[in-house]
A and B are shown apart, each in its own frame.
Chain A
Amino acid sequence: MQYQEAKHQVKQITRKRNDGLKSVFFLAPSWVLLLLFFITPMLLTIFFSFTNLSLTGSAASKLEFVGFQNFVNIFEDPQFRSSIYKTIIFLFFSAIIGQCFFGFFIAFLMKEKNKLFRQIIGLIIIAAWVTPEVVVSFCWVAFLGDNGTLNQLIELFHFKPIAWLFTFPMISVIIANIWRGTAFSMMVFQAALDDIPKEIEEAAIIDGASKWKVITKVTIPMVKGTIATNMMLVTLQTLGVFTLIYTMTGGGPGNATMTLPVLMYKQAFVSYQLGYGTAISLTLLLIGVVASLLYMKTLKMKV
């Protein structure tokens, strides 16, 4: 018996010694991939954005440092400035007002409803979220088309059909993105609202608090952390939205929906100005970094 125990202890000690080596061995493959395909490109973004990197023309043969020239160029470029503005509009209305608010709203209304009803509504909303981005784009292009469902609907009420994607391009892509993304926030908030003990809200009602007071003074403060985290996550997801906008409007008509990712694509892969494109990448990354740091801070606040 004692012998067994001693053997066990020896084993545990050798195990400890091997732990460091094993961790290196276990973590190495992930690190190699992350370094090569994730961290290197990020460092390259910083590096390339100070060069005249391009795919064609005289600059293609010879890589030169141009200092802050790309940044001077992008900030002098009215297209870039308007793109920043459009990105902010898209982020604000589609992520913060749209997905977060609607997600919370739906999750809140679904509380304590008929189970089957909850499942059906939940299923429809999640179906929109599961659908691949390109397909979402088709569904909305058809829905908003000249002879599409929406125009047929408004004709029932004797309104004239509208070329939605040309007349209201930004609103169209914002609505399509809300449609696609709301399920995520809804599920996050459903999980958070389910965690609130029922007694707390009931106690507030017994104490004579109005329904509105209960929501603003009890429910929302209790899921404050989740709201902050969800807002950051959704903002970061929305910041990178390229496919939906590119396949719905291509950034147009004109530059009406040219958010930063679409502008970056156009500059780098259509005009072959990679240096200029990476300068936009760096701007996107920096916005992402700031949002990430804020996100991590809200998490720490909670943990």
Chain B
Amino acid sequence: MAKRSHRFEIAIHYLILSILGILFLLPLLWMLFASVDPNAIQALKVPEKVTFQNFNSILTDPGLMRSFVIGFFISGGQALLVVFLCIIAAYPLSRYTLKYKKSFMMTILFLTSLPITAVMVPVYQLFLTLKLQDSLIATTLFLTASSLPYGIWMMKNFMDSVPIELEESAWVDGASTLRGIRSIVAPLMLPGIFTVGIFTFAGSWGNFFVPYILIQTPEKMPASVTIFQFFGNFGMVNYGRLAAFSVLYTIPVVVFYAFSQSYMSKGFSLGGATKG
């Protein structure tokens, strides 16, 4: 008797999860189907014939392609900078006994959780005053700064798990600190480096608000902004092209996430990542 009710309960669990799964899938499925459907409509429908016409029209639009390149420049540049700066900043925090370490880490943790949205008005004013508005490099640097707290925090925790003894033997052999980092510490914490880099890239690739505020010239807009403008201009007319653009725009982050999947679980056990 007890066994049967248990089995019934498990079946209910499967049923609820399947329904939730379908509800989560439906909006995404529309995008996938519409992108290959030359006669896409607003509702989900299986394409009568599959063509790459929609993709073609996006891929051959030089303006849209430029925005992809700019997006890669901003997000890629930012991710590389964040990884580099976080490794060298995390090193003394992980290895040395510093007087202000605790308060520094607390400040970092505090900054991690503040919403970036809230500082955008003064950042805009700051960019105006320093004549930095419309500069892709300045925008990249601002985005870099905004990811540093999280990056340093994560990187320090990853670095703490690399035993110092390995480095010491390199020092005895005459290696400098920087060399030790490059040839001993960095290779051993590669998963951590990838996690920080990929998180940074994905967050920035999808960031619409920051470039929307800080960049004015239409030709300098990254894909996150052009896709919104595209939606405003054609979105309600040509669903197929909008969906194809969305798929193309989503692919880079999906690829990166798939790549990082084996490392991801590490970042998610809050217990492990929060030791100060």
Contacts and interface: CB of A to CB of B under 8 A. Distances in A.
The answer to whether A and B come from one shared complex is yes
Interface of A: 8, 11, 15, 19-20, 22-23, 26-27, 29-30, 33-34, 36-38, 40-42, 44-45, 48, 53, 106, 109-110, 113, 117, 120-121, 124-128, 130-136, 138-143, 145-149, 151-152, 179, 187-188, 190-192, 195, 211, 225-226, 229-230, 232-233, 236-237, 239-243, 247, 261, 264-265, 268-269, 274, 277-278, 281-282, 284-285, 288-289, 291-293, 295-296, 299, 302-303
B141 interface: yes
B52 interface: no
A269 B239 contact: no
Contact of B270 (A124, A132, A138, A191): A191
18 contacts: A26-B89, A26-B91, A27-B92, A37-B141, A37-B142, A125-B24, A132-B205, A132-B250, A134-B227, A135-B246, A261-B117, A264-B117, A274-B124, A278-B121, A285-B118, A291-B113, A292-B114, A299-B274
Contacts of A302: 271, 274
Q: Interface of chain A, helix or strand or loop or mixed?
A: helix
B24 A33 contact: no
Contacts of B1: none
B269 A195 contact: yes
Contacts of A230: 270
Contacts of A239: 115, 117
Contacts of A38: 111, 119, 145-146, 148-149
Interface string B243-269: 100100110011001000000110011
Interface string B77-109: 000000001101101110010100000001001
B166 to A, nearest CB: 16
A257 to B, nearest CB: 15
A240 B118 contact: yes
B233 to A, nearest CB: 13
B237 interface: no
A30 B145 CA distance: 7
Contacts of B59: none
A236 B115 contact: yes
Interface in B186-244: 202, 205-209, 213, 224, 227-228, 231, 235, 239, 242-243
Interface of B: 9, 13-14, 16-18, 20-21, 24-28, 30-31, 34, 41-44, 85-86, 88-89, 91-93, 96, 98, 106, 109-111, 113-126, 141-142, 144-146, 148-149, 152, 171-172, 177, 202, 205-209, 213, 224, 227-228, 231, 235, 239, 242-243, 246, 249-250, 253-254, 257, 264-265, 268-271, 274-276
Contacts of B276: 299, 303
Nearest to A43: B122
B91 A110 contact: no
A277 B270 contact: no
A142 B141 contact: no
Contacts of B16: 109
Contacts of A134: 206, 208, 224, 227-228, 231, 249
A20 to B, nearest CB: 8
A139 B208 contact: no
Contact of A277 (B121, B152, B227): B121
A41 B208 contact: no
A117 B115 contact: no
B126 A188 contact: no
A8 B142 contact: no
Contact of A120 (B21, B243, B268): B21
A150 to B, nearest CB: 8
A126 B250 CA distance: 13
Contacts of A48: 121-122, 125
Contact of A274 (B125, B231, B271): B125
Given A23-B96, A34-B111, A191-B269, A128 B28 contact: yes
Given A236-B113, A243-B209, 9 more contacts: A20-B98, A37-B145, A132-B253, A135-B249, A147-B42, A192-B270, A195-B269, A229-B270, A303-B276
B121 A22 contact: no
